[in-house]
Structure 1
Amino acid sequence: MIAPIFSVCAASPDVISLLGSSPTRLYPFGMQDDAVIYPYAVWQNIGGGPENYLNQRPDADTFTLQVDVYADSPDEVVSVAQALRDAIETRANITRWGNQEQDAETKRYRYSFDVDWTVTR
């Protein structure tokens, strides 16, 4: 009941080149540790549900995910967002390009987007 965002993105050489491996710095929201290494990305479910039918159990689940990328520079945050986009679009649909901003406290950059993902059971 979780979209396969990590496995899809971790299979991309472009994502790995930017977010590393062992670990790949793509975390479920709130799971990154306090020793932050930039760039990194987080994702979370913001909606979804099973494909319900009257005469049978659901055969698919849909998810709406929010992805947030954090980096040291505007160019780096866009590069990571593009690599994630290219990996994700092979399996799901980007539905929103969100905020691009600089955090007032950390001075790091953030890029946000949403993904709709359907997973067959």
Structure 2
Amino acid sequence: MYAPIFAVCAADPAVTALLGSSPLRIYPFGEAPEGVPKPYMVWQTIGGSPENYLAHRADIDGFGLQIDVYGLCVTQTRDVAKVIRNAIELKATITRWGGDSHDPKTKTYRYSFDVDWLVPR
């Protein structure tokens, strides 16, 4: 009932090279520990539905995910977003580039994008 984003990213050497492996700094939205080293990624489900049929039970669940990457500078944040894109792009479809933002108070950079993911049951 969930998109396998963590497992797919954890299996990709380019992702673990930038986000570590123990722990891998990928968290469900709102679960990143305070003070976690940057860069890191959070994700959240923003929509979805089962592929329903009249004749039988759904055999695929569709999920819309928002992915947010946080880093110390624009280049670092974009580099992490690229490796995450490359890791999941063969499993999911990117549907929106959310773009860059910067929080001057925390000096944190963010890049956001959305994906649609079909997960066989």
The AA in structure 1 aligned to 2:40 is: Y
Q: Which residue in the other structure is 2:109 paired with?
A: 109
Alignment of 1:18-97 (within 5 A): 18-97=18-97
The AA in structure 2 aligned to 1:52 is: N
CA distance in structure 1 between the aligned counterparts of 2:107 and 2:101, rounded to whole angstroms: 9
Please, what TM-score do these two structures have when normalized by structure 2?
0.97
Aligned length: 121
The AA in structure 1 aligned to 2:105 is: E
Give the 3-state SS of the residue equivalent to 1:119 in structure 2. Answer: strand
CA distance in structure 1 between the aligned counterparts of 2:101 and 2:34, rounded to whole angstroms: 21
Give the 3-state SS of the residue equivalent to 1:6 in structure 2. Answer: helix
CA distance in structure 2 between the aligned counterparts of 1:55 and 1:15, rounded to whole angstroms: 41
Unaligned runs of 5+ in 2: none
CA distance in structure 1 between the aligned counterparts of 2:49 and 2:104, rounded to whole angstroms: 36
CA distance in structure 2 between the aligned counterparts of 1:42 and 1:27, rounded to whole angstroms: 5
CA distance in structure 2 between the aligned counterparts of 1:104 and 1:35, rounded to whole angstroms: 17
Query: What's the Cα RMSD here?
Result: 0.7
Unaligned runs of 5+ in 1: none
Please, what TM-score do these two structures have when normalized by structure 1?
0.97
The AA in structure 1 aligned to 2:67 is: V
CA distance in structure 2 between the aligned counterparts of 1:55 and 1:103, rounded to whole angstroms: 51
User: How far 1:35 sits from its partner (Å)?
Assistant: 2.7
Identity of aligned residues (%): 59
User: How far 1:51 sits from its partner (Å)?
Assistant: 0.5
CA distance in structure 2 between the aligned counterparts of 1:35 and 1:7, rounded to whole angstroms: 24
